[in-house]
Amino acid sequence: MVETDFLKYTLPNGIRLIHKYADSPVGHLGILINTGSRDEEPDEHGLAHFIEHSVFKGTKNRKAFHILSRIEDVGGELNAYTTKEETTLYSTFLAEFYERTAELLSDILFNSTYPEKELKREKEVVLEEINSYKDSPSELIFDEFEELIFDGHPIARNILGNPVNLIAFNRESILRFIGNNYHTDQMVISSVGKIDFAALIKLTEKYFGQAETKLRQNGRIRFDNYIPGNLQVEKDTFQSHCMMGNLAFDVMHPKRITMVLLNNIIGGQAMNSRLNMALRERKGMAYNIESGYTAYTDTGLFNVYFGTDHENLEKAISLVLKEFKLLREKKLGVLQLSKAQKQLMGQIAISTENREDLMLTIGKSYLLFNKVDTVQTIFKKIEAITPLDLLEVANEVLDESQMSRLVYR
């Protein structure tokens, strides 16, 4: 892909559009909003996610059934998700139905009525979602680890919320949150599909251009009060579950790409990651071990998760810390670094073949950076990383004295 592959346009109300033409019978269209669970007040905890569920429950023009049927009747899919910093509505469909999809996404976003009867029913659905997390320690531990790391800050709170707040939500609280947090200059329409860009601009002007201009005035509360924590929770589980990690770099930080590479080396998706080799392949101690790096607006988080038999827990932790120590003290050789770089570049290139993922990726990049790096630009940044760069980042992020740990035992 070259830079001209990404076509861009900004509506008068501030909503931005990015498009990549793809000669495919399938189109992908989404709207990304720079608002998530960290933008909630304490009594709104879980509201961003609840709104994501509730936008499908009726508009001024359609009942819930007609919303779902509008795309599914022609073989498409309608979906949404919420993160700590974003809310996204998106659809995959036959490209001939671009206008149908654009109109529906606009109707959902701007004309949802949030009928109380539907809200009551959807609360039960979200309660089941919350309870399913409580039944899954390997998922719950991720949320509780962030609560430990970001203690007391809005970003610490899990996305799903809690039953007490959930029951109290109503149409008024939803409309108030949207009014305070959905800003047109913080919205991006992202498209990958077989449609002429001029025609797509006309569709977005027709269905999204009428929205009132609302520019973000309120900023986010920065997180700057990290204190390493160590917590063990007794749970009736067959395995011990462990998470350990530290703060990392925010989304704008110049060391972010180096951190992405380091994370991939430590416990990325490949079977030959350092931790998968150390714990699973050599010792048979863990079925699932992974590391993750999440870059937020003003901070970042690196973490490692694994599950193991109770009697192997301390040994497994020691093996993880040993790998961290090696990365802090020993520079990668030229061949090792080259292999790691090629592995990450290959993973990125393969991911762009999934056009739905590509639509979401370019949309998020445009939302945050107001630009999209081409694959070639990303590759150059990865190839520019030196062994010393990795060593410096490893010493900053893998510092054992700054590590937090959460164990379910």
CATH code at position 95: 3.30.830.10
Measured over the CA atoms of residue 85, residue 99, residue 215 and residue 175, the dihedral's sign is: negative
Q: Tell me: do 106 and 238 sit in the same domain.
A: no
My answer on whether 311 and 380 are in the same domain is: yes
Report the candidate in 177, 181, 179 with the shortest Cα–Cα distance to residue 44: 177
So what's the pLDDT on residue 226?
96
Residue type, 247: L
Mapped onto helix, strand or coil, the DSSP state of residue 313 is helix
- pLDDT tens by residue, 233-282: 999 889 999 999 999 999 999 999 999 999 999 999 999 999 999 999 99
Last residue of a domain, one of 173, 208, 243: 208
Residues 7, 102 share a domain: yes
Spatial distance between the Cα atoms of 107 and 101, rounded to a whole number of angstroms: 10
| pLDDT for residue 1 | 46
Per-residue pLDDT tens for 129-139? 999 988 899 99
User: Is 216 inside any structural domain?
Assistant: no
Same domain for 194 and 245, yes or no, is no
What is the count of structural domains for the chain? Answer: 2
Kindly give the confidence (pLDDT) of every residue in the chain, 409 residues in length, as a single tens digit, with 9 standing for 90 and above: 444 589 999 999 999 999 999 999 999 999 999 999 999 999 999 999 999 999 999 999 999 999 999 999 999 999 999 999 999 999 999 999 999 999 999 999 999 999 999 999 999 999 999 999 888 999 999 999 999 999 999 999 999 999 999 999 999 999 999 999 999 999 999 999 999 999 999 999 999 999 999 999 888 999 999 999 999 999 988 999 999 999 999 999 999 999 999 999 999 999 999 999 999 999 999 999 999 999 999 999 999 999 999 999 999 999 999 999 999 999 999 999 999 999 999 999 999 999 999 999 999 999 999 999 999 999 999 999 999 999 999 999 999 999 999 999 9
Decide if 219 is inside a domain.
Answer: no
Predicted pLDDT at 2: 46
Q: Tokens 């592959």 sit at which residue? A: 5
Note whether 178 and 55 are same-domain residues.
yes
Residues 152 and 20 in one domain: yes
Distance CA 199, CA 219 (A): 35
pLDDT at 218 (0 to 100):
80
Assigned domain for 286 exists:
yes
Instruction: Determine whether 284 is exposed, middle or buried from the number of CB atoms within 10 Å of its CB (0-12, 13-18, 19+).
Output: exposed
What pLDDT is recorded for position 344? 98
- Residue 215 resides in a domain: no
Q: Are residues 86 and 120 in the same domain?
A: yes
pLDDT of residue 5: 84
Task: Please tell me the predicted confidence (pLDDT) of residue 3.
Answer: 46
- CB-CB neighbours of 56 under 10 Å: 19
The residues, ordered by sequence, that sit 6+ positions from 155 with a Cβ below 8 Å of its Cβ are 38, 84, 146, 223, 296, 299
Domain boundary pick from 174, 208, 242: 208
| CB-count burial class (<10 Å; 0-12, 13-18, 19+) for 253 | middle
pLDDT at position 4: 57
Residues 239 and 383 in one domain: yes
Q: 145 in a domain, yes or no? A: yes
Residue 251 in any domain: the answer is: yes
Q: Do 255 and 173 share a structural domain?
A: no
pLDDT at 236: 85
Helix 98-111 × helix 197-208 angle, to 10°: 30
Closest by CA to 94, choosing from 17, 40, 24, is 24
Final residue of a domain: which of 208, 239, 272? Answer: 208
Residue 193 located in a structural domain: yes
* Judgement on whether residues 202 and 264 belong to the same structural domain of the protein: no
Give the domain extent around 113.
Answer: 3-208
| pLDDT for residue 134 | 86
DSSP one-letter code for 157:
S
Establish if 152 belongs to a structural domain.
yes
Residues 169 and 37 in one domain: yes
Q: Are residues 151 and 261 in the same domain?
A: no
